Amino acid sequence: MFADIAKIKIKGGEGGAGAVAFHREKYVAAGGPDGGYGGKGGDVVFQVDQNLSTLIDFKYKTKYAAEDGQPGAGKNCFGRDGEPGRGGRQYGRKGQDLEIRVPRGTVIREVQSGAVMADMSKTERFIAAKGGKGGWGNMHFATPTRQVPRFAKAGLPGESHDVFLELKLL
């Protein structure tokens, strides 16, 4: 079979939630907040594959979603794309990027507007849907007047698009 057009739904991963945790250590009465930041959600990436010549695979699977980011944890553990400059900390991981392979010459269009998002004639990667940012842990909200915050910020949702894939030439 041969297919030269397909409609799919893509969604970037959601950002991980920040953690509410408190420092616990022997002989330390009030250690304060140490909840980490959540990790970034994975991106949906289109990549040209020389071995493909048709869009038939997209007729059977129409929904593609990247992995969500890992939530933050205690002991200042962050998701991988948490606050920069925190060397020496334990890191969780961000959401895994989802790579979708398409044949050379595929045009990616948005369904609602009909605008061309990308022309996959070259071998460059194209990020079609970005993952959401991770949430802040409770240590981000600590101030001199609010020393024990008991809340954290949730991660942001990833981008979502309905797209048409059109094969413009053989």
pLDDT score, position 84:
45
DSSP string, the chain: ---SEEEEEEEPPPPPPPP--B--BTTBS---B-PPPPPPPPPEEEEE-TT----THHHH--EEEPPPPPPPBTTTBB-TTSSTT-TT--B--PPPPEEEEE-TTEEEEETTT--EEEEETSS--EEEEPPPPPPPPGGGG--SS--S----PPPPPPPEEEEEEEE---
pLDDT score, position 87:
42
Pairing of strands 44-48, 98-102: parallel
pLDDT score, position 114:
87
Q: Pick the residue with more confidence: 106 or 25? A: 106
CA dihedral over 134, 110, 169, 167, signed as positive or negative:
positive
pLDDT score, position 13:
92
pLDDT score, position 160:
94
pLDDT digits (tens, 9 = 90+) for 86-132: 443 444 457 789 999 999 989 999 999 989 999 988 888 999 999 99
What would the two tokens of residue 150 be?
């008991």
pLDDT digits (tens, 9 = 90+) for 39-89: 889 999 999 999 988 888 888 899 999 999 888 877 776 655 434 444 434
pLDDT score, position 31:
78
